[in-house]
Amino acid sequence: MTYTPQVKTAYCPPLALTEEGIRLSGLSPSRHRSGGYIMATLRTLRKLCQHTHHQACSLHLSASRQEAVVISGRKLARQIRDEARADVEEWVSAGNRRPHLSVVLVGDNPASHSYVLNKTRAAADVGISSETILKPSSISEEELLELIDKLNTDHRVDGLLVQLPLPEHIDERRICNAVCPDKDVDGFHVVNVGRMCLDQSTMLPATPWGVWEIIKRTGIPTLGKNVLVAGRSKNVGMPIAMLLHTDGRHERPGGDATVTISHRYTPKEQLRQHTKIADIIVAAAGIPNLITADMIKEGAAVIDVGINRIQDPLTGKNKLVGDVDFEGVRKKASYITPVPGGVGPMTVAMLMKNTIKAAKNLLLTPPERVRMVASS
C-alpha cells in the first residue's frame, strides 16, 4: 500500500531572532547590549527547530504507515479460472472437442497426490476433461517413457504432465524432455524453456507464470525496478527471473526489471544488501524465514513462492509456511502473498490456461509433427 508523507512545517523562530531579522530590525549583535544573549538564543532555537522537524516527520510517517496489502492468490485464481471456463465454452461451442488433460502420477507421495487432485478438480471446474494415470514407484524409466510416448501420439490428449518429483531411479530431465512440447503444459521441455528464454510465445511453467500474473494483475510496477529472486531452480527461480527481466516489447513480453538471483551459496550479508534495495522480492528457495522484516526496504512488494512443512512449536502439529516471515514483513512491505493461499492456487489456474492453449495448438499441428517432435 503506497503512501505519500505530508510533513507539517516545523516551528521556526520569528524574524527578529534570526541574524537577518536582527539586521533588518536595526539591531546589531555587536552593538546591542543583548546581542550575545540573542545569538545564544538563536543557536538554541535553530537546534530545536531541526529536532522538531525530524520528530514531526517521524511521527507523521509512523502514524500514516499501514500494513501491506495481502494479495489473495485464491481470488486472482478464481478470476483466471472464470476466464478459462469462458474460453473453453467458446471453444466447444465453435464445434471443437473439449480439451483433455492427462496426468501421470508415480508413487504414493501424499503431497503429489494432493497436488494432482487439486489440478483435476480445477480442470472439472473450468470444463476440461481429465484423467489421472497411477503408476507404482517401482515402474522402470523405460516403462514410463513408453507410456509417455503412447500419450504423445493419442490425439484425444491435449495436455500431458508427469507429476514431479519422481523416484530416484528415474531421470526427471529425460522424462520432461520425452513429453511432446505441444502437449507440455508444465512448460518443462527443453524446447519450451528455450523459447521462453528467447522471449517467444510458448508454454510457460505454471508457477513462474502465476507469479508474473500476480504482479501484473495487482498493478505492481516492474519497469526499471530492482528485483531480487531468491532461488535458482530451473523450474521456478530461473523462469521467474527470465519473465521479469526480459523486454516488454517482445513476442512474449517481459517486465523490463533489473533482476538479481541469489542461491544457497550467496552469503547472508550479501543477500541482505540485495534485498535492502529491492523493489520486488520473490522468495523461492525453500527455506523458512529466509526473508525477514529487517532485510527489506519500506514499501517493497514480496511474493512468497516457498512451500515448507514445519512443526508448529505451540501445537506440535505440522503446518505450511513460506520462505518469508509473514507477520514481520507485512508490517513493512506494500504487498505480500500468504502461504498457503498465495502462489499455489495461481499455479493450478495457469495450468488450466496452458491446457486450453495446447488444445488450440494441436488443432493446427499435423499428427506427423507431433510424433517427430516427441521423438527428437
Is 150 an active-site residue?
Answer: no
Q: Which of 41-50, 121-130, 155-164, 176-185 has the lowest mean pLDDT?
A: 41-50
What is the number of H-type helices and E-type strands within the chain?
A: 13, 11
- pLDDT of residue 21 exceeding 50: no
Question: The pTM is what?
Answer: 0.80
Q: Which of 87, 184, 186, 304 is catalytic?
A: 186
- Tell me the three cell numbers of residue 129: 476433461
Is 163 an active-site residue?
Answer: yes
Residue 277 is given by DSSP the state: T
* C-alpha span between 149 and 154 (Å, rounded): 9
For residue 133, the cross-strand partners are: 104
Contact call for residues 287 and 305 (beta carbons, < 8 A): no
* C-alpha span between 110 and 191 (Å, rounded): 31
**Rounded to 5 degrees, what angle do the CA atoms 34, 38, 42 make?**
175
Taken in order 240, 348, 299, 1, the sign of the CA dihedral is: positive
Q: Which of 163, 182, 199, 332 is catalytic?
A: 163
Q: What is the pLDDT of residue 258?
A: 98
Query: pLDDT class for 40, splitting at 50, 70, 90?
Result: low
Is 6 an active-site residue?
Answer: no
Q: Is 253 helix (H, G, I), strand (E, B) or coil?
A: coil
Q: Which of 119, 225, 332, 353 is catalytic?
A: 119
What DSSP element (H or E) covers 301?
strand 301-304
- Sorted by sequence, the CB contacts under 8 Å of residue 266 that are 6+ apart come out as none
